[in-house]
Amino acid sequence: MSVSGAWRRAAGGAGLLGSDGSVRPTIFAEMSALASRTGAINLGQGFPDEDGPAEVLEAAVAAIRSGANQYPPGPGIPALRQAVAEHQHRFYGLEPDPDREVLITAGATEAIAATLLALLEPGDEVVTFEPFYDEYGAMIALAGGRHVTVPLEPPTFLPDPDRLRAAVTDRTRVILVNTPHNPTGTVFDRELLTTIVELAERHDAVIVTDEVYEHLTFGPEHIPVATLPGAQGRTVTISSGGKTFNTTGWKVGWLTAPPELVTAVLAVKQFLTYVNGAPFQPAIATGLALPDSFFSGIAAELARKRDILSAGLREAGFGVLPTDGTYFVVADAAPLGHSDAVGFCRALPELAGVVGVPLAAFCRPEYAARTASLGRFAFCKREAVLTEAAARLSALRA
């Protein structure tokens, strides 16, 4: 029986297609399995080990008990669309129309997928920064697009402006921007974002932003691209409740965009999940209405956790790169005598009882050499877990 090449394009775009045509497991699946087998602390995959705020959890329980268990409206329930619109106004001064410019999705993952499938024609170019979240390459390939990357150079993980300008051309359909940036923890500044908007205007490209870590920054201000002059009319802004409210398993995300772009994305989304998360949508609406103290509090708590893990990594002998946002810190194993982070991360559970992932997992082969000794570690865990991980890592120094 023959099968479509679509899965091959997606797997190839994500770097998962082996030379024999088989699909390899992601590095995250491999490392999580290794953690389970060895009893190591899993700092490889970015999910919290604590539940979110009680108000949000109780709102989901109440919604289930009240019968919100069938298909919600295709664009999302009105209460959540209104909450997203109010959130954008409250934090950023934006005023999306909740009825025409907000779409609820099955996490940011579906929002990205549906947006790229809606906007791309075969051969269209999509510019991303590298390292990049693995879904980007898979979905660009699935849509028949051409993936063009601009490297983020360690240790600052900022791009060369000239390379960025050279990458964006009249063939560019989408510039895909992830800030705060996974896996590096970089928060893009106003100057860089302004350059992106100028390039999009010059070459008539759409800007798609992945802002799921928008409230998880530690100093630098998160600047939504849509707030910059000239950007709002050509920007699809994507976020989700999973990272903000420790509800990654609920898969409730959203996007805001001009009406014509929302309509195009909805036309694709209805053939993907159709709808999702009926009882979780009102719960996320509850979360978005929490007071400012909640949002500043989660950032402060994560900053403490970042500092615990960073101190442990330094004590173990790693070089630790700065991280201004997200769940993740990047550490250099070269001072420990390990130049190959892929092999080192595979050995680390046995060496120290801790799991991380190599930064090369977020790169294509031609760029991976620049990050060969770098690994990513998640600090979105209980402080006691991070303290234990730091203690285990000290074995490397010994």
pLDDT band at 1 (very low <50, low <70, confident <90, very high): very low
pLDDT band at 25 (very low <50, low <70, confident <90, very high): low
- Which residue type, as a one-letter code, is found at position 92? Y
Q: What is the mean pLDDT of residues 309-313?
A: 97
Residue 22 has pLDDT above 60, yes or no: no
pLDDT above 90 coverage of the chain, percent = 87
pLDDT band at 197 (very low <50, low <70, confident <90, very high): very high
Q: What pLDDT is stored for residue 30 in this prediction?
A: 85
> What are the structure tokens assigned to 247, written together?
């509800």
Length of the chain: 398
pTM of the model: 0.94
Q: What pLDDT is stored for residue 327 in this prediction?
A: 94
Q: Poorest-confidence range of 2-6, 50-54, 148-152, 286-290? A: 2-6
Residue 273 has pLDDT above 60, yes or no: yes
Residue that the structure tokens 């991980």 belong to: 389
> What are the structure tokens assigned to 216, written together?
């998880």
Residue 314 has pLDDT above 80, yes or no: yes
Q: What is the DSSP string of 188-237?
A: --HHHHHHHHHHHHHHTPEEEEE-TTTT-BSSSPP--GGGSTTTGGGEEE
For 315-326, what is each residue's pLDDT tens digit?
999 999 999 999
The alpha carbon of 21 is separated from its chain's Cα centroid by a whole number of angstroms, namely 28
SS3 at position 71: coil
pLDDT band at 281 (very low <50, low <70, confident <90, very high): very high
CA separation (Å) from 60 to 8, 86, 87, 250, 252? 38, 20, 19, 10, 12
Q: Tell me whether domains 7-51+293-397 and 54-288 share a fold.
A: no
For 42-66, what is each residue's pLDDT tens digit?
999 888 999 999 999 999 999 999 9
- Which residue type, as a one-letter code, is found at position 378? A
Report how far residue 239's alpha carbon sits from residue 214's, in angstroms, rounded to the nearest whole number.
8
Q: Is 327:378 a contact under the CB 8 Å cutoff?
A: yes
Q: What is the mean pLDDT of residues 269-295?
A: 97
Omega into 155 within 30° of 0, i.e. cis? yes
Q: Is 207:223 a contact under the CB 8 Å cutoff?
A: no
Q: What pLDDT is stored for residue 130 in this prediction?
A: 97
Largest CA distance in the chain: 60
Q: Which CATH class is domain 54-288?
A: alpha beta
Exposed e or buried b per residue across 112-127, where buried means at least 16 C-beta atoms within 10 angstroms of its C-beta: bbbbbbbbbeeebbbb
One-letter-per-residue 3-state SS of 283-337: HHHHHHCCCHHHHHHHHHHHHHHHHHHHHHHHHHCCEECCCCECCEEEEECHHHC
Residue 290 has pLDDT above 80, yes or no: yes
- Identify which of 377, 356, 357 has the alpha carbon closest to the alpha carbon of residue 368: 357
- Which residue type, as a one-letter code, is found at position 208? V
For 94-152, what is each residue's pLDDT tens digit?
999 999 999 999 999 999 999 999 999 999 999 999 999 989 999 999 999 999 999 99
Report how far residue 81's alpha carbon sits from residue 222's, in angstroms, rounded to the nearest whole number.
22
Report how far residue 268's alpha carbon sits from residue 255's, in angstroms, rounded to the nearest whole number.
14
Residue 83 has pLDDT above 60, yes or no: yes
Higher-scoring residue by pLDDT: 79, 13? 79
Q: What pLDDT is stored for residue 265 in this prediction?
A: 98
Residue that the structure tokens 């895909």 belong to: 176
Q: What is the mean pLDDT of residues 15-30?
A: 66
SS3 at position 77: coil
Question: CB burial class (10 A; 0-12, 13-18, 19+) of residue 277?
Answer: buried
SS3 at position 146: strand
Helix axis angle, 78-92 to 280-288, nearest 10°: 20
CA dihedral of 223, 228, 233, 234, whole degrees rounded to 10: -70
Q: Is 127:167 a contact under the CB 8 Å cutoff?
A: yes
Q: What pLDDT is stored for residue 397 in this prediction?
A: 77
Architecture of domain 7-51+293-397 in CATH?
Alpha-Beta Complex (3.90)
Mean residue pLDDT across the chain: 93
Q: What is the mean pLDDT of residues 196-208?
A: 98
Report how far residue 196's alpha carbon sits from residue 215's, in angstroms, rounded to the nearest whole number.
22
Q: What is the mean pLDDT of residues 272-301?
A: 97
> What are the structure tokens assigned to 49, written together?
């080990």
Domain residue ranges in the chain = 7-51+293-397, 54-288
Q: What pLDDT is stored for residue 395 in this prediction?
A: 83
